[in-house]
Amino acid sequence: MMKRNILMAAFCLLGASLGVARAEPPTPPFYEAAAKIKPDGALGQIVSREAVGTRVAGAQAWRIAYVSSDVAGRKTVETALVVAPAGPPPAGGRPVVAWAHGTTGAAQNCGPSQVLNPVQGLNEYFLMGGDSWTDYGLPSVDDFIRQGYVVVGTDYQGQGGGGRHQYAVAATQARDLIDSVRAAVALKEAGAGHKAIAYGWSQGGGAVLAAGSLPDYIAQRGTAADGIEMLGFVALAPHETAVLAGGGTADEAAAQKVMGELTAAFSKNVFDFTHFAMLMWGTQAAFPDLSLTDLFTDDGVKVVDRVFSNKCMHAAADTFSYAFGANFKTLLNPAPKNAAGWVQGLVQGSVLPVPPVAPVVIYWGNKDTTNPPIMGKLYQDQMCKLGGNVGRVELAGEQTHFTTPGASAPLYLPWMAGRFAGKPLPNGCPGT
């Protein structure tokens, strides 16, 4: 009884009342204004912008808000950073490199472009060099500027431009990524051309894989920059849900098994549980017909809604740890319902079974326990059977999820340069 009383006391510290309507956290003026802009206009159209200071040599930078859309085709407003070399561009414009960031959280203040001095290389919370409460920055940005590339890094829908973030719904983040390329091209001062490569890590790695399988969206006309050409996709330790779900199933019993395995895999500790709960919260935002009470208790729904509406990743995990300790699983519904509906949502929000429009390379570490490398292997198997060109490279040494971006840079930089130069690339699929 005493243990239960202590737990409930900690539970109450989440707020004076769980019945209070959730509120959005404060954001800087640029983002506060962006969240009020109606998403009218063409995909990739810039609806707001401001200059940003940068210490990257020879660079100029801007924050932008631009129009995109989600997995259901609903128009949205996103925010992003654009960094470009100073001076006149070459004939045909500069190549574009589009960054898709890893997990930072679901609240409006979780966009990486909002931190102080955001224009720098990737700065990771968990690594010794991390200097912030979140991951931020653009990996290899100094190298890209020296090579004459334009770099754009989207914040994703719901991370500064209003709306509810659809966390790890790769099909939505893929559209954000593609439209960020259009926005970079539309920003005339950047001098961007229409040739682009996407690269991303973790959540962003999934977005990159999903973007490769959206040929119709890439080719869409009537945008702010028609005719963009995606030359390659670089996925660093990518998250990919559809392959784990077996491509989806209409059978409730089979779906219950899939959801049970997914829940167990991401409920081994409070950090993994935070990712899982945020994925379900984000999936329900993408597919409103789903109900969070299928998976969480009534109090659990109130808790996850309150936490993810107001806190970014690491703060959210700390809150669950503080309020519930080892009892975080008590937020889960002991008898989950509508498993088939949830599996269908997870699959629809992930990578479509369509061969990528350009070569893909996946970099992974053998000590990655955050996104199991089997995700990338199953994706490669699927896409190679469909005729795609998908390479997969194990990084040297003992690389974790969080060392993957740095360890892979010496490999992806020449890979990208080769794609922009039009050099032939052997098929990366096994046995070819």
Looking at the chain, how many residues does it have?
432
What is the structure's pLDDT at 317? 98
pLDDT tens column, 259-286: 998 888 888 899 999 999 999 999 999 9
User: Is 428 within a domain?
Assistant: no
Distance between CA atoms of residues 218 and 179, nearest Å: 9
317 and 231 within one domain: no
pTM of the model: 0.95
Contact assessment for residue 119 and residue 56, using Cβ atoms and an 8 Å cutoff: yes
Q: Residue 160 corresponds to which amino acid?
A: G
> In the prediction, which pLDDT does 12 show?
45
**pLDDT surpasses 70 at 5:** no
| Residue found under tokens 């269908």 | 344
Q: Provide mean pLDDT across the span 304-332.
A: 97
33 shares its domain with 121: yes
pLDDT band at 21 (very low <50, low <70, confident <90, very high): very low
Residue 23 has pLDDT above 80, yes or no: no
Boundary of a domain, candidates 347, 370, 391: 347
Residue 260 lies inside a defined structural domain of this protein: yes
In a domain, 74, yes or no: yes
- State whether 219 and 309 are in the same domain: no
In tens, the pLDDT along 109-152 reads: 999 999 999 999 999 999 999 999 999 999 999 999 999 999 99
Q: pLDDT confidence of 11, banded at 50, 70, 90? A: very low
Q: Is there a single domain that holds both residue 334 and residue 410?
A: no
19 has a pLDDT exceeding 90:
no
Q: What is the DSSP string of 321-339?
A: HHHHGGGGGGGB-SS---H
**What is the edge-to-edge ordering of all strands in the sheet holding 390-394?**
46-52, 59-69, 75-85, 150-154, 94-100, 192-201, 229-236, 360-364, 390-394
Looking at the structure, do residues 333 and 359 belong to the same domain, yes or no?
no
Residue 18's pLDDT is 42
**Is 383 part of any domain?**
yes
| Domain CATH for 395 | 3.40.50.1820
51 and 64 part of one domain:
yes
Q: Are strands 150-154 and 229-236 parallel, antiparallel or unpaired?
A: unpaired
- What average pLDDT does this structure show over 204-218? 98
Which pLDDT score, from 0 to 100, does residue 108 have? Answer: 98
Counting residues of the chain whose pLDDT is more than 90, the rounded percentage is 88
Q: Which pLDDT value is given to residue 264?
A: 87
The whole-number pLDDT of residue 432 equals 82
Q: Could you give the count of Cα atoms lying within 13 Å of 187 in the half-sphere of its Cβ?
A: 31
Q: Are residues 42 and 95 in the same domain?
A: yes
Are 41 and 132 found together in one domain?
yes
Domain count, the chain: 2
Residue 19 lies in a domain: no
- Average pLDDT along the chain: 93
For the residues 172-196, what does the mean pLDDT come to?
98
Q: Which of 294, 313, 347 is the last residue of a domain?
A: 347
What is the rounded distance in angstroms from the CA atom of residue 42 to the CA atom of residue 66? 9
Is 275 found in the same domain as 206? no
The pLDDT assigned to 243 comes to 81
| Distance of alpha carbon 178 from alpha carbon 347, whole angstroms | 20
Q: Are 85 and 59 in contact (CB under 8 A)?
A: yes
Same domain? For 329 and 360 the reply is no
> Do the domain assignments include residue 4?
no
Statement to judge: residues 84 and 102 lie in one domain: yes
Q: Sorting pLDDT into bands at 50, 70 and 90, what band is 367?
A: very high
The whole domain housing 296 covers: 247-347
**Structure confidence by residue, pLDDT tens digits, 28-48:** 999 999 999 999 999 999 999
**Among 283, 313, 347, which residue terminates a domain?**
347
Structural domain includes residue 1: no
228 in the same domain as 251: no
Does 393 map to a domain? yes
